Each structure stands twice: as structure tokens, then as C-alpha cells.
Amino acid sequence: MEKVKPKKHLGQHFLTDLSIAERIAQAVKGHGGVSKVLEIGPGMGVLTDFLLNNPLDLYLIEIDHESIVYLNQKYPQLKEKIIEGDYLKYDLKAIFPDKYAIAGNFPYNISSQIFFKVLEEKHRVTEVVCMLQKEVAKRIASPKGNKDYGILSVFLQAYYDIEYLFTVPPGVFNPPPKVHSGVIRLTRNQTEKLDCNEKLFFQVVKGGFGNRRKTLRNSLKSFNLSEEFKTNPILDKRAEQLDVADFVFLTQEIEKGRGAH
Ligand code: SAH
């Protein structure tokens, strides 16, 4: 089989350390009793080899045609479970009408977009085990009060329990990326729906972090806070000091104020 030459614009950094691939695969627990797992960006199948040892039914989605040709030769047993396409655009509903898990050594340049798609599919995605840029991995797993804590942390923590599993150095990839990598696991929590207007919640979180050094009283000005709520001490805080429950409270209050207008 012709080996695939890594392509930079697709974020291709192929793992060369098999023990790390094995650790990532073993971290997939099949939370929520799922029977299927989707690997995003299998490349040449380094992680795929170990995911095949997992009892979950494995599907692959890969954007690179050359990798697809390689994978089809390497895994004839997966046949129509090998999907050629862009994960961000692909309609997965037909293949995964029910709950499923996600695994992968993500293309780092689109990892945030991948998580926004996971959020859209949160009612079916029970678990995500992935490797990505360490900085982003830390941010997603970070608790409030930390400088890494941000919009994606709040959005994902609203629906997932997040564990930072381990750090991976650049030297175990071909070609080595410029940054360290981190492996995290997201496990779907019990929250079906937040106890507030969810659309407004997303806007409030975004607004709050718009200028993270400002107090919320300042950064949320455009939300027309009610006179009564304007004196609430929560508004003296900055966005990074609030956890999901605090943001839910804030959203409820802003919603009340809206009703009064
Ligand atoms: N899992 C492999 C490769 C990781 S590199 C390994 O660990 O060695 C990231 C992979 O994601 C590459 O193979 C790249 O082609 C693929 N990729 C990039 N953008 C993608 C997208 N939008 N949808 C699906 N796969 C993508």
C-alpha cells in the first residue's frame, strides 16, 4: 500500500507512537450504552487499529481522498462504514439516528468547529475522546476562575463532564506539530435542557467573555439589564468567575428584565 504523505492544510499529523494510540482508544468507554463510535480523521489508521479492539461498531469519516483509498485497502471489513467527507458538513443523522460516541486525533485547525458541531448533536453524542492542541484541551477542561476558561468551556461543560487525561509531546507525530497536544474525554451529563432560555444563554456567555477583563455589568450592557438587577453583586464579577449554574442564573435574570420591557 502506498503511504499517505501528510498534508499540512488538512492538519495531518500522523501519530507514530502506538502506545499513545492505544491509550486514546482505551479511554473510549461507550458511555450511555452506545453501540457505535465514529472516528474523525483516521488518516492512515494508527488510532483505528486500536479502536477496532473496542467492542463498539466503528465508523470512519475522513476528508482526504488519498487516505480514503488507503483505508479502504487496509480495512476491507469496514466497507461502507468508511465515509469520505467533511465532518463539519456531513449530515450524520442517517448513519447515526441514535446515540453514538466520537473518537479521534482531531485536525487541530478545526477543533473548535468540531466542538460546535458536537454541541449541535449533543442529544446523540454521549462521549468524545480526542486529542487536540494542548492549549485548547486545557481550556475546554478548565474550571471557572482559571485564565484558560472561556466560551467553549462553558458551552461544553453545560452538557458534558470533561476530564483532561494526558499530555502528548510533538515528537511522536509525523510531521511534529509546533505545539504540545492533550487528550480529553467528554462524557454527556444528565442535562437535557438548561433551566433558562438556551439561545439567550449562549448569547449571554458570548457577551460576557466579549471583553473578559470587564465586569459583567459592563460587558452585558447591551442586554438592557433591569434597574433592579443592575445592583446585583454577580455583575461585579468577570465572566471567567462564573460557572454554568451562574450563567443560567444570569440568563434567567436577563430574561425576566426583558419581559418587563
Ligand atoms: N488519526 C490519524 C490522523 C490525525 S491527523 C493519526 O492519529 O495518525 C487529522 C486527520 O483529520 C487527517 O487525516 C486529516 O485528513 C483529517 N481531516 C482534516 N479535516 C477533516 C474534516 N473536515 N473532516 C474529516 N477529516 C478531516
Nearest CA to ligand 1 atom 16: 41
pTM: 0.95
Give one word for 11, left, alpha or beta, with left for phi > 0 and alpha for psi -120 to 50: left
Domain closes at, from 159, 188, 217: 188
Q: Does 2 reside within a domain?
A: no
Task: Confirm or deny that 105 is annotated as ligand binding.
Answer: yes
Q: How many domains does the chain have?
A: 2
Q: What is the mean pLDDT of the chain?
A: 95
Same domain, 122 and 207: no
Give the per-residue pLDDT at 259: 62
Residue 231 structural domain: 198-260
Decide if pLDDT at 149 tops 90.
yes
Same domain, 176 and 207: no
Which residues form the pocket of ligand 1, taking CB atoms under 6 Å from any ligand atom?
10-15, 40-43, 46-47, 61-64, 67, 86-88, 105, 107, 110
CB 125 within 8 A of CB 102: yes
Q: What is the pLDDT of residues 83-96, one digit of tens each?
A: 999 999 999 999 99
Residue 64 Cα: closest atom of ligand 1: 15
Q: What is the pLDDT of residues 35-57, one digit of tens each?
A: 999 999 999 999 999 999 999 99
The percent of residues above 90 in pLDDT, for the chain, comes to 91
Q: What is the pLDDT of residues 182-208, one digit of tens each?
A: 999 999 999 999 999 999 999 999 999
Give the per-residue pLDDT at 118: 98
Domain closes at, from 145, 165, 188: 188
Same domain, 107 and 228: no
Give the per-residue pLDDT at 3: 86
Q: Does 4 reside within a domain?
A: no
Task: Confirm or deny that 261 is annotated as ligand binding.
Answer: no
Task: Confirm or deny that 15 is annotated as ligand binding.
Answer: yes
Same domain, 48 and 135: yes
Nearest CA to ligand 1 atom 8: 14
Q: How far apart are CA 137 and CA 185, in angstroms?
A: 10
Decide if pLDDT at 74 tops 80.
yes
Decide if pLDDT at 164 tops 60.
yes
Same domain, 127 and 184: yes
Give the per-residue pLDDT at 224: 81
Same domain, 48 and 157: yes
Q: Does 36 reside within a domain?
A: yes
Same domain, 159 and 216: no
Give the per-residue pLDDT at 210: 93
Q: Does 202 reside within a domain?
A: yes
CATH number of the domain where residue 81 is located: 3.40.50.150
Beta strands 36-40; 181-188: pairing state? unpaired
Average pLDDT over every residue of 53-62 = 96
Same domain, 59 and 148: yes
- Residue whose CB lies within 8 A of the most ligand 1 atoms, among 5, 48, 105, for a mutation test: 105
Q: What is the pLDDT of residues 97-128, one digit of tens each?
A: 999 999 999 999 999 999 999 999 999 999 99
Residue 4 Cα: closest atom of ligand 1: 13
Nearest CA to ligand 1 atom 3: 43
Same domain, 173 and 208: no
CA dihedral defined by 62, 63, 65, 70, rounded to 10 degrees? -20
Q: Does 6 reside within a domain?
A: no
Q: Does 8 reside within a domain?
A: no
Q: Is the peptide bond before 175 cis (omega within 30 degrees of 0)?
A: yes
Nearest CA to ligand 1 atom 5: 12
Same domain, 82 and 137: yes
Q: Does 45 reside within a domain?
A: yes
Q: Does 183 reside within a domain?
A: yes
Give the per-residue pLDDT at 261: 47
CATH number of the domain where residue 232 is located: 1.10.8.100
Q: How far apart are CA 135 and CA 148, in angstroms?
A: 8
Nearest CA to ligand 1 atom 20: 63
Angle at 122 between CA 51 and CA 128, to 5 degrees: 25
Average pLDDT over every residue of 6-24 = 96
Angle at 30 between CA 28 and CA 34, to 5 degrees: 145
